[in-house]
Structure 1
Amino acid sequence: MMDIQKIGIIGTGYVGMAAAFAIFQQQLATELVLIDKNVSRAEGEALDLMHGQPLVGRCTVRAGDFEDLEGAGLVIICAGVSQSSPDENRLDLLKRNISVFEMIARELDRYAPNALLLIASNPVDILTQAMQCLSARPRQLIIGTGTYLDTSRFRTLLAQYYDVSPNSVHAYILGEHGDSEIAVWSSAAIGGLPVQENTINGREFDVEKMDTLFCRVKNAAYDIIASKGHTNWAIGLVIAGILRTIRDDQRRILPVSVRLEGEYGIENVCLSIPTIVGSQGIENHILPDLNEDELKGLRLSAQTLLEPLEALNLTH
């Protein structure tokens, strides 16, 4: 029987442990199983985290292996390999990551065949599609974190500009979680008022300033990595947010990476569009009207992803 309170995390690096901490601190699970090829690290992280139980509530945290995921309701995948040398090209790196995912898919299909899989490893869109091809479980049970983090960054910066709460900003970054992503300005709104061509809280919509703001969103990961070497805290919160949505069957509309099947004229590519997420995983899609430039940008984003997907034979 699947237990949504039992969560597995594969990969105990910066992202995996930021997710584990957010889940633990927010009391979103009663059991966390940490899996890593470095068993000693997973054991140390589990021991360190579970000592905080008196401060947040009871949650068993333990290091384990794939067989310990039996009955888990959700497994978060943060594992992957990094570039082996400066000369290694992107396609070769992808092939090595997909080799890791082949092993993970095989073990998860054996021990946790009904669990929902949440992919956080990068490049998240390609690896989400790879897992959909490699695993026997239905596609709606395999979701990538996609542009949820980019959207959070976008809403944060818009909130700063207009001096309002980010919770009152409704705006999306869609497409690839990467350089080809697009900002959907045509539907961006605050308090129900479109931001384009309007003055909100005394601040007008300035095209040049908004272009700069979007560049800051796209370059955020580069800037953070240049400063501290990695990103982790915000994506950890994103993962916890998706988990809460699934656990509580909230049916929230999230910009997560899913396989498109004709939406916006795009097929057989995983990228982010607004998606209804609930206890059964992907429930349905919401398709906002895109203007001509946005639609063109989304299709270009899909094409950017399609080329490596075809080279890796991941479009089936």
Structure 2
Amino acid sequence: MSRTIGVIGLGHVGITTSFNILTKGLADTLVIFDTKAGLAEAESYDLRDALGGLNTYTEVLYNDYAALKEADVVIFAAGDISAILGGDRNSEIKTSKLAVDQVSPQLNASGFHGVLIDISNPCDVITTYWQEKLNLPKTQIFGTGTALDTYRMRRSVADTLDVNVDDVRGFSIGEHGETQFPAWSTVRVNNQPILEMDGIDYDGLSEAARLGGWKIFNEKHYTAYGIATIATELALAVCSDAKRVFPVTCFDEDYGFCIGHPAVVGRKGILSNPPMTLTDDEKQKYAKTAQSIKDTYDKLKALD
């Protein structure tokens, strides 16, 4: 079956994601978009130049919304990283909302009926906004959420305990932002619950995971590889109907908007939400992070 994936927004994250999709051979057709038509065209040629060294073939198109009618996945990576002020992802809210307002009518008009994955910040809020703007079920719209925060938590634990990062399992949940937190009750190291291990500095590990992105951003002024890898994994999970659990931002029926938590991802987007057995402290933190998302969402709606 032919696979079509679209990537909207060709900043550092969007083009890195596009390159991942191309080199991994995940799509038969890759459609890339940017408001700068010249950039979109140039990137399409640059990507096509790589085809000679690959053992797969991908047709690369640019700025063609009609080509998304039968697309399996659209990844939304538009935004303005320069809008981040003082270490606050939420400062992108105005530019990200504007981008959704510009793109959503064109996506609806194209007849797109696949799965939309949001990367743009503030991720939970923008994903919730996408669910208002697109003519799609909420389950077909989700965001990368705390998947990157989870990667950073796992890396921090692996570095501290000198284990392989692949042998650290568990989730960070909540807002993709300052109130996200590792749900330590879900974390296992070499198949041992981390809460049963001695000498663990949970506060230190939580802070290292939270600040991991800012350490990169402060020097590079952007992050790309981690989040692009996650977006690629999610696109593959949809296209292959993997039924794989990721900590993504998706609709939480108890709160009425999108929050990062474990969900099963497959062909139709969010297939189910496994129950979370959290400690009382984690439940309080989840309620706090939900309030933070709601406050930011209220700010977005005030921009109308």
What amino acid is the match of 1:12? L
Deviation of 1:30 (Å): 1.2
User: How far apart in 2 are the matches of 1:276 and 1:38?
Assistant: 35
- Is contact 1:4-1:72 (8 Å) kept? no
Q: Which moved more, 1:287-296 or 1:173-182?
A: 287-296
> What residue is the counterpart of 1:251 in the other structure?
243
- Is contact 1:4-1:74 (8 Å) kept? no
User: How far apart in 2 are the matches of 1:180 and 1:100?
Assistant: 25
* Seq. identity, %: 28
Taking a change above 3 Å as real, the CA distance of residues 162 and 27 of structure 1, as seen in their structure-2 partners, is same
User: How far apart in 1 are the matches of 2:217 and 2:162?
Assistant: 27
User: How far apart in 1 are the matches of 2:147 and 2:84?
Assistant: 30
User: How far apart in 2 are the matches of 1:92 and 1:190?
Assistant: 36
Tell me if 1:275 matches 2:263. Answer: yes
> What residue is the counterpart of 2:208 in the other structure?
216
Deviation of 1:90 (Å): 8.7
Q: Which moved more, 1:270-279 or 1:188-197?
A: 188-197
- What do you get for the CA RMSD once the two structures are aligned? 2.2
- TM-score scaled by length of structure 2: 0.92
**Correspondence list, 1:1-316, <5 A:** 5-56=3-54, 57-81=56-80, 94-198=93-197, 204-207=198-201, 210-262=202-254, 267-313=255-301
Structure 1 residue runs of 5 or longer lacking an equivalent are: 199-203
User: How far apart in 2 are the matches of 1:9 and 1:163?
Assistant: 37
SS in 2 for 1:29: coil
Q: Which moved more, 1:147-156 or 1:160-169?
A: 160-169
User: How far apart in 1 are the matches of 2:224 and 2:50?
Assistant: 20
Deviation of 1:69 (Å): 2.0
User: How far apart in 2 are the matches of 1:228 and 1:104?
Assistant: 28
Structure 2 residue runs of 5 or longer lacking an equivalent are: none
Deviations 1:263-298 (Å, cap 9, x if unpaired)?
xxxx11211111011001101111221111111011
SS in 2 for 1:52: helix
User: How far apart in 1 are the matches of 2:135 and 2:40?
Assistant: 27
User: How far apart in 1 are the matches of 2:212 and 2:154?
Assistant: 13
- Is contact 2:97-2:300 (8 Å) kept? no
SS in 1 for 2:72: strand
User: How far apart in 1 are the matches of 2:260 and 2:91?
Assistant: 24
User: How far apart in 1 are the matches of 2:47 and 2:23?
Assistant: 10
What amino acid is the match of 1:297? K
Taking a change above 3 Å as real, the CA distance of residues 84 and 241 of structure 1, as seen in their structure-2 partners, is closer
Deviation of 1:310 (Å): 2.8
Report how many residues are paired. Answer: 300
- Is contact 1:74-1:117 (8 Å) kept? yes
- Is contact 1:114-1:137 (8 Å) kept? yes
- Is contact 2:150-2:170 (8 Å) kept? yes
Deviation of 1:86 (Å): 7.1
